[in-house]
Amino acid sequence: MSQVLKLEIDSQLSNTRLVAMAVRGVCAMTTLSPVEINRLELCLVEIVNNAIEHAYDNEAGHPVEVCVSMNKTTMNISVSDWGQSIPDDVMQNKTEMVVDPEQPEVWLCSGRGLHIVNKLMDQVTYESNQDKNSFIMKKELRH
Amino acid sequence: MAFENHEEGHFTVVRIDESRLDASVAEVFKTYVFDLIEEGRSNIVVDLAEVRFMDSTGLSVLVAGLKKLSGNGSFSLACAQPAVRDLFDLTSMDKLFKLHGSVAEAVKGS
């Protein structure tokens, strides 16, 4: 049987830490190691910030929903918004980012957050149903 | 004030008195660092001892500082905590920055 926690914040970057802290608390109930919990928090923060900054263009007053569901083997975290969806080419770009100390012009390229999430989570899916966009991250739990 | 700075020899040590360097404070921190650079401080050490969490936006501000000083000074980091070190490793940003174990080590330039 799975357990579900649903949270909602207003679309302001200062609110991201609220869901981060709440999900850290849930993670502490699992078999995830401290390093894995830090990494999961990082992934959650990246995707919630992404929703605020890109789906809502940094405009306050819109909902961002975070839903955590877990059973003995898996934790699923979905982040949903009702704004602009992530373009397909951005979602599908899995190219490893290369950091070249000799090329400062490319150090600041955007999209680093999605690369981090793709690297750290066991599965990432993105779906848009009617007006609702959901970014779903899956993490396997040891048992 | 979440940030403060002091001089140690030729270095300006910037201390972040925040446990999180994330998107909600990144812009303010960027302005703080850029102001220091524009005032002529060219050897900057960022003391990360208090920072327990950093996201990619916080990281981007450090990269922006490094880039702004590129070739005209130094921009290094000290006392990165485990989650912050992990972020640098994950993003290969450890290739760009010197991560010093302490501020004392950073101002020695070792």
SS3 letters across A46-106: HHHHHHHHHHCCCCCCCEEEEEEEECCCEEEEEEEECCCCCCHHHHHCCCCCCCCCCCHHH
A109: confidence class by pLDDT, cuts 50, 70, 90: low
Which token pair is B47? Answer: 């003391």
Q: Which contiguous run of DSSP H or E holds residue A135?
A: strand A132-140
Where are the domains positioned within chain A?
3-140
Residue range A44-65: mean pLDDT, rounded: 97
Topology classification of domain B3-108: Transcription Regulator spoIIAA (3.30.750)
Residues of chain A found within 8 Å of residue B83, distances taken between Cβ atoms: 38, 42
Q: Is the pLDDT of residue A85 over 60?
A: yes
Cα(B33)–Cα(B53) distance, integer angstroms: 19
- Tell me the shortest Cα–Cα distance from B59 to chain A, in angstroms: 10
- Candidates A130, A33, A30, A129; CA nearest to A77 is A30
CB contact under 8 A, B22 and A98: no
At residue B55, φ and ψ (nearest 5 deg) are -105, -175
Pairwise pLDDT comparison (A100 vs B86), residue with the higher score: B86
Please report how many Cα atoms fall inside a 13 Å half-sphere around the Cα of residue A130, on the Cβ side.
Answer: 0
Q: Does A41 touch chain B (CB under 8 A)?
A: yes
Where are the domains positioned within chain B?
3-108
Residue A108: per-residue pLDDT = 66
Nearest CB to B23: which of A49, A107, A116?
A49
Cα(A100)–Cα(A104) distance, integer angstroms: 8
* CB A101, CB A49: distance < 8 Å: no
* DSSP 8-state assignment for residue B95: G
Q: Does B67 touch chain A (CB under 8 A)?
A: yes
Nearest CB to A112: which of B56, B82, B83?
B56
Q: Does A35 touch chain B (CB under 8 A)?
A: yes
Q: Is the pLDDT of residue B110 over 60?
A: no
Q: What is the assigned CATH class of domain A3-140?
A: alpha beta
